[in-house]
Amino acid sequence: MKLHKEGYPSIAIVFTFVIIINIIDQYFNHSYNFVHYLVWLVSAFLIVAILQFFRVPKRKVTKGENLVVAPADGKVVVIEEVMEDEYFHEKRLQISIFMSPTNVHINRYPIGGKIKYFKYHPGLYLVAWHPKSSTENERTTVVVENENGKSVLFRQIAGAMARRIVFYGKEGDKVEQGQECGFIKFGSRVDLLLPLDVDVKVVLGQKVRGPETIIAEFKT
């Protein structure tokens, strides 16, 4: 299993904790009782949980100049028209993907092109499905424009558990559709802000996989 580089510190902490509690258990508890089994069960759960969270699965990128692909794994929790006041200053269609702790938390570019805008916003840590998390939580805002002049704004949004957002790009970079762009540690959310006239290909509650699932298609 390939593991993501962002997980190395967390994995090391979990393995150190597991070793310590097992040493303590062996030192103070010399009978094979309920406590022994509980320690083993907790150790196994922590190891499996941390490894599956930071796993890097193989994915086939769905590519297309007019396609917007999922920037993350998760469930579609919002499809609505909103006023975008940071970059476009116009109404846009917001599609939000909630990533639970069991999802892969790698983030990817929904379209290829050039990074026109990037900004990091410090903020709160409301639960990721809270209506105000898009504007009040810790987040990044990224705008990518493709060769046809179509632009997508997307935000990496921290949740109640997520306390670190990583973004690898910078303004002016040329990026490929489906290319890894960042990572959010533990439960979180990604918002897409699309033109109002896109043809939406997902529905509320649908589970998506980045960068395989087509979220929307630009009208030509």
CA distance 133 to 170: 24
pLDDT confidence bin for 47, thresholds 50/70/90: very high
pLDDT, tens digit (0-9, with 9 covering 90-100), for 63-98: 999 999 999 999 999 999 999 999 999 999 999 999
Query: b or e along 71-98 (b: 16 or more beta carbons within 10 Å of the residue's beta carbon)?
Result: bbbbbbbbbeeeebeebeeeebbbbbbb
- For residues 141 and 169, is the Cβ–Cβ distance under 8 A? no
Q: Residue 142: its pLDDT value, please? A: 97
Is position 10 annotated as part of the catalytic site?
no
Of residues 43, 133, 151, 188, which has the active-site annotation? 188
- Determine the pLDDT at residue 131: 58
**168 confidence band (pLDDT: 50, 70, 90):** very high
How far apart CA 114 and CA 206 sit, in angstroms, is 29
Assign 110 a pLDDT band (cuts: 50, 70, 90): very high
In this prediction the pTM is 0.84
CA distance 192 to 196: 12
CA dihedral 168, 185, 154, 72 (to 10 degrees): 100
Q: What's residue 170's pLDDT?
A: 95
Q: Could you confirm whether domain 67-217 is CATH 2.70.70.10?
A: yes
